[in-house]
Chain A
């Protein structure tokens, strides 16, 4: 299994530009999570999906952030317009949500730098 696949690995953009991060979860997993990691705030849960449906988006910072999961094998996190404070590592994770245990499998992350 290839694991959770994220792209791009690195993204450098200018303030005001649209940024789209992509994630392919592990095949067979039905829950997908987007996290953001910074030195100041650690790992923050932004949003998660069960069976392609957004369940909790309370961690999404503001309306500039949006996430979609059009099918079981693909999700996007979009920032429009981007700001320097959005600079962080963004992780996608997936799991089989069979109960109250949530062993997440993380991708390698996207390092986003907004100049």
Chain B
């Protein structure tokens, strides 16, 4: 069945370095993808989204890359800060919005 998966469950990054979180999706018909951030004790919070007619989209310190050929999604965080420590989820929209297992990002001071 369709599923959204993440390559690595945890990521440890030095403060100030760039972070890259990867995600594989399985439904080639999906045309909308979202990244969410979930801090401890809170609900998931929208970070950035991208539609399938784009390869790249930039936000504030974050960039999402979409490779439809290999059904791969990545989230890049520039100059990672302690406040970026959280669990990051990718989601695809079809057949219904489904979330991957999440990658736990820990920022080292």
B61 interface residue, CB < 8 Å from A? no
Question: Chain B residues with Cβ under 8 A from A106's Cβ?
Answer: 43-45
Question: Chain A residues with Cβ under 8 A from B51's Cβ?
Answer: 101
Contact B43 A103 (CB under 8 A): no
A100 vs B46: C-alpha distance in the bound complex, in angstroms?
A: 16
A114 vs B42: C-alpha distance in the bound complex, in angstroms?
A: 20
Contact B46 A104 (CB under 8 A): yes
CB of B37 to closest CB in A, whole Å: 11
Among A33, A91, A100, A105, the residue within 8 A (CB) of B32 is A100
Contact A43 B89 (CB under 8 A): yes
Among A43, A48, A105, the most chain B Cβ lie within 10 Å of the Cβ of: A43
A49 vs B40: C-alpha distance in the bound complex, in angstroms?
A: 27
Question: Chain B residues with Cβ under 8 A from A104's Cβ?
Answer: 34, 44, 46, 97
Closest to A109 in B: B43
Interface residues of A (CB under 8 A from B): 4, 33, 42-43, 45, 48, 56, 91, 93, 100-109
18 pairs from A and B in contact (CB 8 Å cutoff): A4-B43, A42-B102, A43-B99, A48-B96, A100-B31, A101-B49, A102-B34, A102-B93, A102-B97, A103-B34, A103-B46, A104-B34, A105-B46, A106-B43, A106-B44, A106-B45, A107-B43, A109-B43
